[in-house]
Chains A and B, each alone.
Chain A
Amino acid sequence: MSETDAPLLLAEGLTKYYGRQLGCREVSFALYEGEVLAVVGESGSGKTTLLQLLSTQLAPSAGRVRYRLRDGVTRDLAELSEAERRFLFRTDWGYVHQDAALGLRMNVSAGANVGERLMAVGWRHYGRIRGTATQWLDRVEIDPERIDDPPLTYSGGMRQRLQIARNLVTQPRLVFMDEPTGGLDVSVQARLLDLLRGLVTELGLAAVIVTHDLAVARLLSHRIMVMKGGEVIEHGLTDQVLDDPREPYSQLLVSSILPA
């Protein structure tokens, strides 16, 4: 088996209870390099719990998550030291929050928001950090003239694009996204989606995207998991699940979309 044939991320029987309340139950899947997985379902279906379990922000009640590190060794994330986990988060992973304020420092400049991730991986040269930050602002379609302004002065769409630049600047291999287009105007959404789509293909990123928007899933993902009541009820090729949904709930989701 060649190296690229091994999964990047492996979820095995992931289960989470909040006391007696079920978060999600028995979720298993493998994610490969360059693959985008969409997790869809209504509020309360367990999709955000799953994302937090995968990204080790929550500890599972049962099951485990394994990840293939850059050295090619696949490790159980629960066995990493806190320092190792933090390093993973700063370098190899990105996390795009629905609320940009959670993923950005709102009062420091855009340039520093992007540069901070580079400094965390050891960059020290101010000119190079600023140069790379400028390139990334340009890449996410933010006028580099705005590099010294804090995101507090940015529009919603710009904040979200800045968050993406901040996450991708360290060239992660895996990005988690929680409703990345939620709360944005439709035209702003289209621009963001188009940008994400281009970056994901260009950089060969693997991603897990939580969304309740099936159009987002269709546009960005290769595979889709439909969740309901904490369980995965259908999982497969995105266009197959959306065009030929098998489960009653998936059929309901697909048929509930208003044609534009």
Chain B
Amino acid sequence: MDPLQLTGVAKSFTMHLQGGIRLPVVAGVAFSVGAGECVALAGPSGAGKSSVLKMIFGNYRCDTGQILVRHEGEPIDVARADARAILKLRRTTIGYVSQFLRAVPRIAAIDVVAEPLVAAGVGREAARARAGDLLARLNVRERLWELPPATFSGGEQQRVNIARGFLPALPILLLDEPTASLDAANRAGVMDLITEKKKCGTAIASIVHDDDVRARTADRVIDITRFSAQGTA
């Protein structure tokens, strides 16, 4: 099977505080991502692109359908997996670079980046060394490494976030606007990282608004509006 395969995935939100109004987001989402392939999800704001990535990561629940992820050779359905299984998937199989860094007070940037490696069993010093290499590559100044990223600029925070997501070698990587707040030079750096990941066989699903970045990284584009759930409510 492909590393990632979605079939019949639907998502809606029921807003109990607003009189139980139901907001359908997507329905019948079906696509797969092969090893070494980058698939870009396209569509206007509000079409449900981020919701789809969040469902794959287990951050949002999935109402119906299957989200099959190849985990250590076996398919696991994220839509039905329990909390422990999802946490394990996140340590060993699925990485996610969100739009915004959720900074933890008092944790140094370099430790924020190294954390997923440490959680996967890499020694702290080795993990920090690798984190430093990647931060340097992403032009995050060394004097910032030991500071908590809460006070960094938007672009610096985003690069810390990217480093954290790209550092562990996971078979599936989900990218939500990874280049949104970056200048041209840093954008190019991230595109290089994406290309390297693909060469290593990583399956990537991304949301990218920049046409140039999309054209240069994506092998296929999937129009999410095809799976619009509007009108099914």
- Given contacts A190-B106, A244-B59, A244-B60, are A252 and B87 in contact (CB under 8 A)? no
Partner of A190, one of B58, B87, B105: B105
Taking a contact as CB atoms under 8 Å apart, the answer to whether A251 and B16 are in contact is yes
Taking a contact as CB atoms under 8 Å apart, the answer to whether A223 and B83 are in contact is yes
What total of A-B pairs shows CB separation below 8 Å? 49
CB closest chain-A residue, reference B104? A219
CB closest chain-A residue, reference B81? A237
Q: Does B17 contact A (CB under 8 A)?
A: yes
Q: Does B172 contact A (CB under 8 A)?
A: no
Interface size on B, residues (CB 8 A): 20
Taking a contact as CB atoms under 8 Å apart, the answer to whether B60 and A240 are in contact is yes
Q: Give residues of chain A (237-254) contacting chain B, Cβ–Cβ below 8 Å.
A: 237, 239-240, 243-244, 246-248, 251-252
* CB of A185 to closest CB in B, whole Å: 13
* CB of A9 to closest CB in B, whole Å: 14
Interface size on A, residues (CB 8 A): 23
Q: Does A179 contact B (CB under 8 A)?
A: no
Partner of B59, one of A191, A193, A240: A240
CB closest chain-B residue, reference A247? B16
Q: Does B15 contact A (CB under 8 A)?
A: yes
In the bound complex, how far is the Cα of B16 from the Cα of A6, in angstroms?
37
* CB of B6 to closest CB in A, whole Å: 17
Q: Does A43 contact B (CB under 8 A)?
A: no
Taking a contact as CB atoms under 8 Å apart, the answer to whether A237 and B17 are in contact is no
* CB of A148 to closest CB in B, whole Å: 29
* CB of B41 to closest CB in A, whole Å: 19
Q: Does A138 contact B (CB under 8 A)?
A: no
Interface centre among A191, A244, A255 (most CB of B within 10 A): A244
Query: Which residues from B are CB-within-8-Å of A191?
Result: 106
* CB of A115 to closest CB in B, whole Å: 29
Taking a contact as CB atoms under 8 Å apart, the answer to whether B106 and A194 are in contact is yes
Query: Which residues from A are CB-within-8-Å of B58?
Result: 237, 240
Interface centre among A197, A236, A240, A243 (most CB of B within 10 A): A240
* CB of B124 to closest CB in A, whole Å: 10
In the bound complex, how far is the Cα of B104 from the Cα of A193, in angstroms?
10
19 A-B residue contacts at CB 8 Å? A191-B106, A193-B105, A194-B104, A194-B105, A194-B106, A197-B104, A222-B84, A236-B83, A237-B58, A237-B83, A240-B58, A240-B60, A243-B54, A244-B13, A244-B59, A246-B14, A246-B61, A251-B16, A255-B17
Apart from A240-B86, A243-B60, 18 more pairs, CB < 8 Å: A190-B105, A190-B106, A191-B106, A201-B119, A222-B83, A222-B84, A236-B83, A237-B58, A237-B86, A239-B59, A243-B54, A244-B13, A244-B54, A244-B61, A248-B16, A248-B17, A251-B16, A252-B17
